Structure 1
C-alpha cells in the first residue's frame, strides 16, 4: 500500500483536510488499498469462546442425529429450518436486499425477512452493509472477510477478531440509503434480537418438544445448535472456499472463483467469479450452470407474481467479459492449456473442494474508491433485452 505526502497547508488545526476527517485525508492521499500483512488483528475472546462452545454443542447434536437418538420428525423439522434459513440468506439478504437483483411484493419481503432472521447472521441491514463493503473492496483490508489472510480468517476468524480500521471507516461510507428508507428493514433491525429469539430459537426448539415428544436437551442440541452451526459453515464457505479453490473464467483479476462444491451445498452461491463480475444478475451464475436452485426459486416467485424485474447479464455481455478478462477455463470459450492448469487433493473433479487453478491468483490491490457495486446502465439495457427476448 502506497501513500503520497499531503501538503501541510491543506490540513487545519484539528488535523482535518478541508473539513474532512483524518481518515478522509488518508484516503485522498492513498493510491491503493491492498492487504497489509504486518497488521495483526486483535482477538475478541468472548466471540472466540462463544463460537467454540456453539461448535462443541453442535457436534453433540450431530452425534445424536447420526446415532439415531432423535425422532425422524425432529430430523426433518431441522432440515426444513436449515433449508429455510439458507434461502433467507442466499435469496433474501444476498440477491434481493443487498444486490437488488429483482424486485418483490411486500408479502415476499416479509417472507424473506423472516427466513433471514431464522439464519441468525445479524439483521438484514447489517448483513447487507457488510456484504456491499465486501464487494466494493473485495479481498483487501477493507473487506470484512479478506481471503488474502487465509482460509481460517475468511471462514470464521474475522468474526472472532476486531474489525480492521478500513472495515469500520469505509463501512460507514457504504450507501445504505435504500435500506434505510425501507420500514420493514429498519423494523427488523430495531427488534432483531427479539425476533431472532422467537423464530430462530423458540419455535425450532419448542415444536419437537411439544408435538414430537422430543427431549428438551435433544431438541436444543439438534434443532438449534447443530442446525445453526451447520448452516453458518455452509454460508461461510462462500467467503472462504469460493474465494480460494476454483477457477476464474469470467475475470482473472477478481479473487473469487467458480466452485461446484460450494454451489452444491449453498443452493447456487458458489459461482462466485461470475457473481463478482456481474453482482446484479439474479442468477449469480450463467443460465446453464448446475446447482443453482436459488435461481429456480426466484423464477418460481416470478411465476406466482411475488417477484418481478429480474435483472440479467445479456449473453453478449457475458461472452465479451469471458474473452476480454477470463482466465481461459470457461467450459465453452476457454482453452485447453488453461483448463488443464488445475490440481486437487484426491480425484481431479470440480466437485472436489480442493479443485483449484494453478494459474497465478490476482493481487487484489484496489483504488480507494473500490469496485463498482452496481452497473445501472447495464442493468437497464439488460432489462430491455430480457423483455424483448421474452416478448
Structure 2
C-alpha cells in the first residue's frame, strides 16, 4: 500500500511539531478498573464521595448550551412537522455517523485501543468525530482516560457522585476541579499525539469543525429542495444536540440507574435505553469491568450495539484488525465473584446453576441472603 504510506508521510510533514514530554504513566489506555476485594476498605475505596464544592459557573458556556437546546426543541418540532422525508433520512445518517465518531473512534479505537484501524478507517472516523463536535480526539480521549483511571473521584471530569445534572452536562458549565489538572500529567497521550491523522485534526480543528458539523449538514439538504432554515435547525442543531445528549447519558444515567451483573462495587450500570441512544455504549458495568473489549458489551447484540456492527464490517473489509475481546470463561468467573446476581446466565434467576455454585456465590454476595 504505497499510496497509504505516502499519505501518512504527508500528514506527518503537515502536522509536525515538537511533542510534549510523555506522562508519568505508560500505556495508560489499558485502564483496568480496580479489582475490588470483599472487604470494607475496598468497597469504601470503590465508592468515593465527591468533595462538596461551590460551582464556579462559566456563563459563556451556559449561554451557548441554552441556545443550542432551544434550537434542539425547535429543530425537533420541524423534524416532526415540516421537513422532507429525505431530510429526515439524512438526519438519521448524520446521527449514526456522528455517534460512530465518538463510539467507534474516540472511545473504542483511540481512548482504549480495543482494536486497530488502517489509515482509511482512521481518516473516516476522524471525519465522523469532527461531525460530532465533542472536541478533538486527543482531548476527548484524554478526558475519558482520566474518567477510567480516577472514576467517580474529583479527578474524574464528569464525576457521577456529584449528581445526574453535573455528570450529564453540568461539568461543562463550571470550572474543572483542581484535581483534574493535578492528575492530568499521569495520563500518557503520546500514542495519539504521534498519529498524524489526529495531529491534523487537532491543528485545524477550529476550521474543520464548523465546516463539517454545521455548514455541510445545512447545505447538503438544499440539493433536494429543503430550505436552509429547516436544514440548519434539523440536520445541524437538532442532530448535534441529540448526539450530545446521547453521549452524556453514558456519563450520567449509565452511572446511576441499572444493574451491575459484572461488578457490584463500581457505579457504572447496564441500561439498554442508553445503548439505543448511544448506539451501543449503555452496557457500562461490563465496559468498566473489561474496558479493553471492542464490543463494550458481553454479547454485542447488533440491535443494541450498532458500533459493534460497524467495527465488524470494517474488519470484514480489512480496515479494522486485532479486535480485542474477553473469553466466556473470564466473564463467567468475574460475574460469579463480583456480580450483583442480575446476570442473565449466571445470575440468581438461572435455575440451571448447580446448588454448590449457588452456595459459593452466596458467600460472595451475602446481601442476597436477605
Asked if residue 206 in structure 1 is aligned to residue 206 in structure 2, the reply is: no
1:175 aligns with 2:172: no
CA drift at 1:287: 2.3
Tell me how far 1:219 sits from its aligned partner: 1.4
CA contact (8 A) 1:41 1:164 kept: no
Secondary structure of the structure 2 residue equivalent to 1:231: helix
SS at match of 2:186: coil
Q: Is the 8 A contact 1:257 1:273 kept in 2?
A: yes
Mean Cα displacement is larger for which, 52-61 or 73-82? 73-82
2:297 pairs with 1:285: yes
Task: Tell me the residue number matched to 1:370.
Answer: none
SS at match of 2:114: coil
Alignment partner, residue 238 of structure 2: 226
| 2:102 corresponds to 1:106 | no
Which position in structure 1 is the counterpart of 2:59?
45
How high is the TM-score relative to the length of structure 1? 0.76
State yes or no: 1:162 paired with 2:150: no
* Aligned pairs (5 A) from 1:142-157: 142-157=155-170
Q: What is the aligned partner in structure 2 of residue 78 from structure 1?
A: 91
Structure 1 unmatched ranges of 5 or more: 1-19, 21-30, 338-358, 361-391
Superposition RMSD on alpha carbons, in Å?
Answer: 2.0
Instruction: Tell me by how many angstroms 1:276 deviates.
Output: 0.4
Tell me whether 1:137 sits opposite 2:134 in the alignment: no
1:227-242 equivalence runs, <5 A = 227-242=239-254
Shift of 1:288: 5.9
The Cα of 1:93 is off from its aligned counterpart by 0.7
| Deviations 1:190-225, CA, capped at 9 Å, x for gaps | 11121111111111101112x122222221111111
Asked if the contact 1:45–1:160 (Cα under 8 Å) also holds between the matched residues in 2, the reply is yes
| TM-superposed deviation, 1:171 | 2.1
**Residue 261 (str. 1) matches residue 273 (str. 2):** yes
The TM-score, its normalising length taken from structure 2, stands at 0.80
- How many aligned positions are there? 308
| Counterpart in the other structure of 2:19 | none
Note closer, same or farther for the CA distance 1:331–1:200 as it changes in structure 2 (3 Å cut): same
Q: Residues 217 and 98 (structure 1 numbering): CA distance in 2 closer, same or farther, change over 3 Å?
A: same
Helix, strand or coil: the match of 1:206?
helix
Measured after TM superposition, the shift of residue 32 of structure 1 is: 7.0
Native 8 Å contact 2:169 2:248 kept in 1: yes
Please list every run of at least 4 consecutive aligned residues from structure 1 whose deviation after the TM superposition is greater than 3 angstroms: 31-37
Residue 38 of structure 1 and its aligned partner are, at CA, apart by: 2.4
1:195 is aligned to 2:208? yes
Cα deviation for residue 36 of structure 1 reads: 3.7
Q: Which residue of 2 aligns with 1:11?
A: none
Contact 1:139 1:147 survives alignment (8 Å): yes
**1:336 to partner: Cα distance:** 4.1
**Of 34, 52, 55, which residue of structure 1 is paired with 2:69?**
55
Q: Alignment partner of 2:298: what SS?
A: coil
Q: Is there any run of 5+ residues in structure 2 with no aligned partner, and where?
A: 1-23, 25-43, 351-366
Which is helix-richer, 1 or 2?
2
